[in-house]
Structure 1
Amino acid sequence: MQSQFRLRENREFRRVFQRGRSAATGRFVLYWYKTQIGHFHVGFSISKKVGNAVQRNQLKRRLRACFQELSPQLRDQSVDFVVIARKGSADTSYLEICRDVQKLLKKAQFMV
């Protein structure tokens, strides 16, 4: 995923958490906040409870790949997303992660 589509700074994450809305599945929580930027941004929050550094980084790579795959459908949205991984989400396969992300985006009404 290109760096222009990523949330990086703490203040951006805080804005999404404080002003945004949320939806959840058993493995992930999605927060979103509509902006005026013109395209979507996404950030990931994965705590040490999820697993060791290797597992957390692998999960982040898989989540980035899912959003990269879905980016043509989200490109017109001016929204900031934050995905929080829950405990036990590191053991899931790529297909299950993508399915959960799609389910969250449908709950948030960003996908049909």
Structure 2
Amino acid sequence: MQSEFRLRENRDFRRVFQRGRSLATGRFVLYWYKSQSNRFRVGFSISKKVGNAVERNRLKRRLRACFQEFSPLLQDTSVDFVVIARKGSSEATYTEIHSDIYKLLKKAHFMV
């Protein structure tokens, strides 16, 4: 995923948390907020409770790959997303992660 599609600054994360809406599954929480930009952006929040650095980075790579796969469908939306990983999410396979993110995006009406 290209860097222009990533949330990086603390103020962007805070804006999404304070003003946005949220949905959750057993492994992830998805926050979103309509932004002023003309593209979607996504950020990930993965605490040390999820696992060590290797597991957290692996999970971030898998989440980025999921959003990369969904990017053609999200291309026209101007929304900031934040995904929070819950404890135990690092043990999930890529297929399970993909299906959880798809469910969250579908439930939030960003996917058909």
Q: By how many angstroms is 1:77 displaced?
A: 0.3
Alignment TM-score, normalising by the size of structure 1: 0.99
**Alignment partners' CA distance in 2, 1:107 and 1:31:** 12
In the other structure, the counterpart of 2:47 is 47
Q: Deviations over 1:70-105 (max 9, x none)?
A: 000001000000000000000000010000000000
Paired residues for 1:12-51 under 5 Å = 12-51=12-51
Q: How many matched pairs?
A: 112
Secondary structure of the 1:33 match is strand
Secondary structure of the 1:98 match is helix
Secondary structure of the 2:38 match is coil
Paired residues for 1:88-107 under 5 Å = 88-107=88-107
**Alignment partners' CA distance in 2, 1:28 and 1:4:** 23
CA RMSD of aligned residues (A): 0.4
In the other structure, the counterpart of 2:57 is 57
Moved over 6 A (4+): none
Q: By how many angstroms is 1:35 displaced?
A: 1.2
**Alignment partners' CA distance in 2, 1:38 and 1:101:** 22
1:45 partner amino acid? S
**Alignment partners' CA distance in 1, 2:10 and 2:36:** 19
**Alignment partners' CA distance in 2, 1:71 and 1:29:** 19
Unaligned segments of structure 1, at least 5 residues: none
Alignment TM-score, normalising by the size of structure 2: 0.99
**Alignment partners' CA distance in 2, 1:109 and 1:36:** 19
Structure 1 vs Structure 2: percent identity of aligned residues?
Answer: 79
**Alignment partners' CA distance in 1, 2:2 and 2:52:** 25
Unaligned segments of structure 2, at least 5 residues: none
